[in-house]
Amino acid sequence: MAEERLQKILAGGGLASRRAAEQMITAGRVRVNGKVVTELGTKADPRKDKIEVDGQRVVQEHPVYLALHKPRGFVTTLSDPEGRPTIKDLLKPHGIPMRVFPVGRLDFGTSGILLLTNDGEFSDGLLHPRRAVPKTYVVKVDGLMEAKDLDRWREGVQLEDGRTLPAEAFVIRHEQGKTWFQITIREGRNQQIRRMGDATGFKVMRLARVAFAGITSEDLKPGDLRPLTYEELVELKQQFGVPRKPAVARSPIPGWERKPRAGVIARRSGNYMREEREADRARPAPRERATPRSAAPAKKPSRPARGRPGSRRDR
């Protein structure tokens, strides 16, 4: 393994975020091979070098990649100074043994798919503007949108920080003076969808992200999460060049299966279908219901013994 910056190694060990790790280094709490290190640019090899924080050895955690269906009313952070519910509260019931952080953000009033990981390179790769990772939302706005109104969203809306990139959008339905539509954008500005609604005269009333980089919230109830499948991680690498750590063959969370799931990019490969067939064969056969004695069928008469003509059986 190549050398990495100390703050990255500490974050990979689940001790703290990179910013907090930098504070640990400058405070003189970190030792490398027995020597105190205070320079932020210091690099080390987590496999060869002995790295300690407050005398405790730092061990690299198993990489984790999770998909969470975030409900409305939760802040996309691990701690909130205002005391509002955070996604950390959603992780507690699942007993995640590693420290994970969100890939990007969802607003307090926005629900939908949110990725979590402890792999910083993976997160940075998905959020880099150059990769233009698609994000799909279902939006409810106040007012009846016509084709020309939706064209403004498709072509780009002028905001305070510049015009938005072209988007894909189509109307789902109209009801009681409101419009439901779906839109896919490839940039991540702060509260972009809501600001686009204000700029075009259609106030956003409801917002949910249904897909991020092809990963959907299908089969996930609000508050539920699941590990990303190996197939999904491979697809992210092929489509967007997102780096990932190789040790993802098995889930690091006890009791969690890593079976591929149906979705936008979770393809049902031949291996998956074979696993499904094997799982069906492994299930115990259903027990037959005992037939009551009163309904028991009469015994069939036994067949006469066969033999050669003239033998003792025919006599």
- d(Cα 8, Cα 61) in Å, to the nearest integer? 12
Phi, psi of 210 (to 5 degrees): -100, -15
Residue 156's region, left for phi above 0, alpha for psi from -120 to 50, else beta, is: left
* CB hemisphere CA count around 150 (13 angstroms): 19
**Catalytic one of 107, 119, 198, 280:** 107
Ranges of H-type helices in the chain: 6-12, 18-26, 87-91, 120-127, 147-155, 192-200, 230-240, 270-282
Q: Please indicate whether residue 198 is annotated as part of the active site.
A: no
β partners of residue 162:
159
Residue with tokens 């279902």: 138
- d(Cα 288, Cα 284) in Å, to the nearest integer? 12
Q: Are 214 and 235 in contact (CB under 8 A)?
A: yes
- d(Cα 55, Cα 221) in Å, to the nearest integer? 42
Token code pair at residue 252: 């690091």
- d(Cα 18, Cα 24) in Å, to the nearest integer? 10
- What pairing do the DSSP bridges indicate for beta strands 65-70 and 162-163? unpaired
Q: Are 259 and 272 in contact (CB under 8 A)?
A: yes
SS3 123: helix
Residues annotated as catalytic are 107
